[in-house]
């Protein structure tokens, strides 16, 4: 997934593209920086083919005005996405971006998504490769019903077109943590986005919990199957990683008798801070692997997390 995620350097551009003079935009819904602790926003993850979103306030309190017969008539709020140029790590796939829309507290809906398939790589650009989306032609306009709530002083995270933020959307929202340039562009919204992303991750993980006999299983936790036990002696890899020994420390690496395991490692867990990772090639071995790992955690009285990930075996290409 991360190979398809762009450096979303245009997420918080201060001004929208010029719109028709017949529409007066409500200034309370705009791409801008945060102005204070009570400021609130909608943070939208989308791929680079999305050209605009249209919002509606069911109460009619918030909205744009359309000039019609010398009168101003309330209308839905269409907002163009920033861009259209973007960076990509994996040629051939649209990048995943996010944009922050300032919104006052209330209940709203996304009612239309306008998108295009017209995009192309830019010639002669140095790495990383760049691409451009052409939103000036015929657009596909999809009417949707995506309700969302805005709370005072908070940001709301959603992904287009599916709604509440998914694990993949959260990967996009975490980009500013790793890239200073994106963090500068997101600016004053960054701390709130980081807090909301962490909270949403914990919420998504907790919703998957399946208690077993002495341990828990999280079957699709950020593309991993997490087997977790929270009682007993802390796993040695947790103690080592917390003490700064690194991911390649002298930790035990049980195999659990899973034939297709081709690699192991240590890293971030889905439920606990750290986890022991098992990479296997056969998805049919996951159920038996869960039972073997769970039984080991219980028998050894270990508090820890072991993640099973179905992956291919990396191949070295030679020319």
pLDDT tens digits for 200-248?
A: 999 999 999 999 999 999 999 999 999 999 999 999 999 888 887 766 7
Dihedral sign of CA atoms 260, 265, 270, 273 in order: positive
As a whole number of angstroms, the distance between CA 101 and CA 193 comes to 12
Average pLDDT of the chain, as a whole number: 87
Alpha-carbon distance values, 131 to 7, 115, 119, 174, 188 (Å): 12, 16, 7, 22, 27
Judge contact between 98 and 146, C-beta under 8 A: no
Between 173 and 128, where is the model more confident? 173
Over residues 194-199, mean pLDDT: 95
pLDDT in tens, 143-169: 999 999 999 999 999 999 999 999 999
Using alpha carbons, select from 80, 89, 77, 78 the residue that is nearest to residue 10.
Answer: 80
The DSSP-derived string for 265-284 is EEEE-SSSSEEEEEEES-GG
Residue the block writes with tokens 């945060």: 34
Give the per-residue pLDDT at 187: 84
pTM above 0.75, yes or no: yes
End-to-end Cα spacing for the chain: 26
Give domain limits for the chain.
Answer: 2-206, 210-310
Over residues 183-212, mean pLDDT: 92
């Amino acid at each position: 997934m991360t190979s398809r995620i762009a450096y979303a350097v245009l997420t918080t551009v201060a001004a929208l593209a010029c719109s028709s003079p017949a529409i007066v935009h409500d200034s309370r819904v705009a791409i801008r920086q945060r102005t204070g602790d009570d400021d609130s926003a909608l943070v939208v993850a989308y791929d680079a083919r999305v050209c605009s979103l249209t919002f509606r306030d069911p109460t009619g309190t918030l909205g744009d005005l359309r000039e019609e017969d010398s009168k101003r008539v309330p209308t839905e709020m269409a907002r163009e996405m920033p861009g259209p140029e973007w960076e990509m790590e994996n040629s051939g796939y649209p990048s995943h971006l996010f944009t922050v829309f300032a919104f006052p507290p209330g209940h709203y809906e996304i009612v239309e998504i306008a998108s295009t398939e017209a995009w192309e790589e830019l010639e002669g650009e140095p790495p990383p490769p760049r691409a451009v989306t052409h939103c000036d032609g015929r657009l596909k306009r999809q009417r949707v019903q995506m309700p969302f709530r805005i709370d005072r002083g908070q940001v709301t995270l959603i992904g287009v077109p599916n709604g509440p933020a998914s694990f993949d959307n959260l990967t996009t929202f975490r980009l500013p943590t790793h890239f200073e340039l994106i963090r500068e562009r997101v600016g004053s919204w960054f701390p709130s986005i980081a807090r909301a992303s962490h909270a949403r991750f914990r919420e998504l993980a907790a919703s998957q919990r399946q208690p077993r006999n002495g341990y828990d299983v999280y079957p699709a936790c950020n593309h991993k199957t997490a087997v977790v036990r929270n009682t007993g002696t802390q796993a040695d890899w947790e103690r080592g990683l917390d003490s700064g020994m690194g991911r390649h420390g002298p930790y035990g690496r049980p195999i659990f008798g899973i034939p297709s395991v081709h690699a192991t490692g240590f890293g971030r867990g889905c439920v606990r801070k750290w986890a022991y990772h098992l990479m296997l090639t056969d998805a049919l071995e996951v159920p038996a692997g869960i039972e073997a790992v769970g039984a080991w955690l219980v028998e050894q009285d270990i508090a820890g997390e072991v993640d099973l990930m179905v992956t291919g075996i990396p191949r070295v290409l030679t020319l």
